[in-house]
Amino acid sequence: MEIATESVALATADGRIPCHLARPAAGGQYPAVIVVMEAFGLNGHIKAVAERIAREGYVTLAPDLYARFGSPVVSYEDAPKAIEYMKKLDDAKVMAEVGACVEHLKGRPEVRAALIGITGFCMGGAVAFKSAAHHTADLKAVVAFYGGASLAGDSALLARITAPVLALWGEKDQLIPLDLIKRIEETMRRLGKTYESKVYAGAGHGSFCDERGSYNPRAPGGFA
């Protein structure tokens, strides 16, 4: 499917946030997906993921959550710097920025406003979980890639999620052990949530990113 891309800037109480938007080039209305970046910033890979989803018939919007820090893009080899930026993020401000993304998508004529979902990777996966708990009226589906398991103990937050959640993990993820993956699954089941978990055999952290050494060619299968 042919797509069109553009840069958009959304107004928030904390300033303007640049985003990468991709959409089918053909006319009509489409469901939408907010694509949340990893800790490395809004880099070429995340933009490519947004475009890949758009080719499947979605309008996608990838916000730069590091805009307030000057929009840095951190090398994959410099994880400590990425973690430094990630730890500077304020949850309330991030939720406001996701809310701005939702409102922008709802206002676009090519978007089916009742069909907006969110996906994210690592840090972005946790943001996707939190966003689903915060924007319950607007986010209708969640796909989290190796992120959010640390929320297993936050039953109050997880209880607010109403959208179905698909969580994708790596068996050999050095940052997210299998017992933590099991804990969040048990918590979501106990809370009566619609939750599907898939663990990829042999896959480590960052297994979806084809620009990193951790890439596992079987991991993208969960994306389909």
Q: What is the pLDDT of residues 108-157, one digit of tens each?
A: 999 999 999 999 999 999 999 999 999 999 999 999 998 899 999 999 99
pLDDT of 219 reads: 53
Structural tokens at position 66: 């590091």
10 Å Cβ neighbour count for 132?
28
Q: Could you tell me the pLDDT band of residue 72, with boundaries at 50, 70 and 90?
A: very high
Asked whether the predicted pLDDT for residue 26 surpasses 60, the reply is yes
pLDDT of 201 reads: 82
Among 14, 16, 10, which Cα is nearest to 34's?
10
List the domains of the chain with CATH numbers.
Answer: 3-213 (3.40.50.1820)
The residues near 51 (Cβ < 8 Å, ≥ 6 apart) are 3, 5, 22, 60
**What amino acid positions are annotated as catalytic residues?**
122, 173, 205
Structural tokens at position 60: 């996608």
- With the CA atoms of 208, 47, 74 and 10 taken in that order, what torsion angle do they form, in degrees rounded to the nearest 10? -130
10 Å Cβ neighbour count for 153?
12
pLDDT of 32 reads: 99
pLDDT of 13 reads: 87
Q: Could you tell me the pLDDT band of residue 173, with boundaries at 50, 70 and 90?
A: confident
pTM tops 0.75, yes or no: yes
10 Å Cβ neighbour count for 191?
13
pLDDT of 204 reads: 65
